[in-house]
Structure 1
Amino acid sequence: MSKELSENMIMQVLDWGYDKAVGGFLGLDSARDLAADYMKIKGSRRDQANSLIRWQNTKAGTSGFLTGLGGLITMPVTVPANISSVMYVQIRMIAAIAHMGGHNLDDDRVKSLVYACLTGNAAKDILKDIGIVVGRKITENAIKNISGKTISAINQKVGFRLLTKFGETGVVNAGKAVPLIGGFVGATFDSVATNTIGNIARDTFIPEVSIS
């Protein structure tokens, strides 16, 4: 297989992961179902989102969980299973938080915002360019004003950021598409990175001013 990823391949993985996260996959709850479970917890939406993020940093970060995903995920493109697994898990977390914030996961504009959150702190700059400030409530008009051209621009920036990220962590040249869990947990799915992504998603879709 090819040992190199491209931005186009990254986007194919994102689209595949989003479809599986929203629709449900491998017997796992969909993003909506996951959100519904945490929306039963007492507290504000942000409190509920924080509980979801904490869960993501523990159970979903265990080698057993990821080994299962890596062994079962079959991608439509040739991408190492460690990359496709982490993208799927993180996309599901972000999409669940977006749903908790009352956003329509079937909207391509919302999907693009979910992708932006995958870049962590870089999402602040990506979204600021289109007039969305992380930490402030996203109005319905702001989302409606996101054009198809803007979606493409966001996705292009996300693809570039993620490709750079995977290159820095050394998983771009992972070689065979097998779950290399040892380096995977340490380099790609560490709790710090996942926590940052979760916090960005929370601040984007459920800002401080939001109430349950």
Structure 2
Amino acid sequence: MAGVARFVASSLAPAAQRFAPQAAAGILRQVLEIAIDGYQRFPGAEKLAEQKLAKADGDVAVAIEAVIDQHIRLAGVQGFVTSVGGLVTLPVSLPANLTGLAVVQARMVAAIAHLRGYDLGDPRVRTAVITCLLGEDGVTDRLKKASLPTSPLAIATAPVFDPELDRLVAGEVVGELIARVSGKRMALTVTRRVPLLGGAVGAGVDGWSTYRIGEYADKSLVRRIPRPIEQ
């Protein structure tokens, strides 16, 4: 995970620190491609999903629960590491944390989508995966404000891929991730004199947000194609 974060952190950092979601959208797409397809020894979403399904003896619901649990732990670990040191290290750790959350949460959602029968090679599905990173509250709020035209499920099953919608979603997600990391800065302010406590706060925030996104993806990406029953 650390290697994946370093892979893009230098590119994402300037945009993240300027709080310019549109400028960072292209970099976020690269991060999510790594999460879905894998990178070197970092297994992609499909491979991970199949591993969990095999361990669950073909039970999709159990496999999805295992995927979510694993990524909650991953999010907690990377959240702890990038938050230790409190505000002293925040200017450096913010882009790494932003990257780590994107990779962890995108792979989790993509694995859920695969287990539900969606083709991760389909650009519509990849846009839907990105949309799920907004979480249920984020999607609902944007639907009400009309800054997002439709739901992840509708995006995944749309007749054609919409590149403009893909760019719109990417910008919204980068903004949301930056907002989450910035919100964590407020919590770290309280614990700046107790660095390890700051790390615990970071781990808790990232783990909780990952849990919420996993539950939302599980609810939103309903089964599209029945998986074959293994004999």
TM-score by length of 2: 0.65
Distance 1:140 1:64 in 2: 30
Contact 1:53–1:198 (8 Å) recurs in 2: yes
* 1:200 matched residue in structure 2: 216
Matches within 5 A, 1:48-197: 48-58=63-73, 60-63=74-77, 67=81, 80-121=95-136, 122-126=138-142, 130-132=149-151, 138=153, 142-145=157-160, 147-170=162-185, 183=198, 186-187=201-202, 190-197=206-213
1:26-45 matched pairs, under 5 angstroms: 26-40=40-54, 41-42=56-57, 44-45=59-60
Does 122-131 or 146-155 show the bigger shift? 122-131
Q: For residues 146-186 of structure 1, what are the alpha-carbon distances to aligned partners after superposition, in whole Å with 9 as ceiling and x for unaligned?
A: 53333333333333333333332239xxxxxxxx9975663
Q: Report if aligned partners of 1:117, 1:200 keep a CA contact under 8 Å in 2.
A: yes
Q: Structure 1 residues 83, 155: closer, same or farther in 2, change over 3 A?
A: closer
Tell me by how many angstroms 1:61 deviates.
3.6
CA-CA distance at 1:62 after TM superposition: 4.9
- Quick one: structure 1 residues 181 and 17, their matched pair in 2 at CA, closer, same or farther if it must change by over 3 Å? farther
Equivalent pair of 2:112/2:218 in contact (CA under 8 Å): yes
Change (3 A) 1:38 1:84: same
* Residues 98 and 177 in structure 2, CA contact (< 8 A), matched pair in contact too: no
| Match of residue 25, structure 2, among 11, 14, 20 | 11
Is contact 1:116–1:126 with CA below 8 Å preserved after alignment? no
Structure 2: which 5+ residue stretches go unaligned? 1-12, 83-93, 187-194
- Provide the residue aligned with 2:9 in structure 1: none
**Considering only aligned residues, what root-mean-square deviation do their CA atoms show, in Å?**
3.6
Could you tell me which runs of 5 or more consecutive residues in structure 1 were left unpaired when the two chains were aligned: 69-78, 172-179
Alpha-carbon distance between aligned partners in 2 of 1:11 and 1:165, rounded to the nearest angstrom: 16
With over 3 angstroms needed to count, the CA separation of the structure-2 counterparts of 1:159 and 1:141, relative to structure 1, is: closer
TM-score by length of 1: 0.70
Larger Rg: 2
CA contact (8 A) 1:18 1:88 kept: yes
Aligned positions, number: 189
C-alpha contact 1:120 1:197 (8 A) present in aligned 2: yes
> Which amino acid is 1:112 matched to?
T
User: CA 1:85–1:182 in 2, change beyond 3 Å: closer, same or farther?
Assistant: farther
| Residues 31 and 95, structure 1, Cα contact 8 Å, conserved in 2 | yes
The structure with more helix, counted as a fraction of residues: 2
Tell me which residue corresponds to 1:174.
none
